[in-house]
């Protein structure tokens, strides 16, 4: 059952990553979504697919200065450091995390 949840969560994160990449609904996703994404990632910390999408989402927001507070306030920076510890052997994910930070 947990694997099903991870699958569903990964698909949702991929859709949200696409929306952020395309610049769609950024304000809503920054204000509400980052908090939800961060909490969901804490539940699925061992899922590299979800982590990769979250790093992409946070990375996209990090290019827009107005979302810096949202990134910090919802715990995304702390989560990125947790991901650094968890995925330090995954070179592509590690590169994405370091680039986002």
pTM: 0.86
Q: How many CA atoms lie within 13 A of 35 on its CB side?
A: 8
Question: How many angstroms separate the CA atoms of 20 and 74, rounded?
Answer: 17
pLDDT of 14 higher than 90: yes
Per residue in 20-73, pLDDT (tens digit) is 999 888 888 888 888 888 888 888 888 898 999 999 999 999 888 899 888 888
For Cα atoms 61, 89, 85, give the angle at the middle one, nearest 5 degrees: 60
pLDDT of 3 higher than 80: no
Task: Report pLDDT for 2.
Answer: 58
Mean pLDDT in residue range 77-85:
89
Residue environment code for 67-76, b if the CB has 16+ CB neighbours within 10 A, otherwise e: beebbeebbb
pLDDT of 1 higher than 60: no
């Amino acid at each position: 059952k947990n694997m099903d949840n991870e699958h569903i969560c990964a698909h949702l994160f991929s859709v949200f990553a696409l929306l952020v990449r395309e610049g769609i609904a950024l304000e809503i996703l920054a204000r509400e979504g980052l908090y939800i994404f961060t909490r969901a990632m804490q539940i699925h910390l061992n899922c590299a697919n979800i982590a990769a999408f979250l790093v992409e989402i946070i990375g996209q927001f990090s290019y827009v200065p107005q979302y810096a507070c949202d990134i910090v306030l919802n715990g995304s920076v702390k989560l990125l450091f947790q991901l650094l510890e968890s995925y330090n052997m995954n070179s592509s994910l590690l590169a994405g995390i370091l680039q986002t930070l």
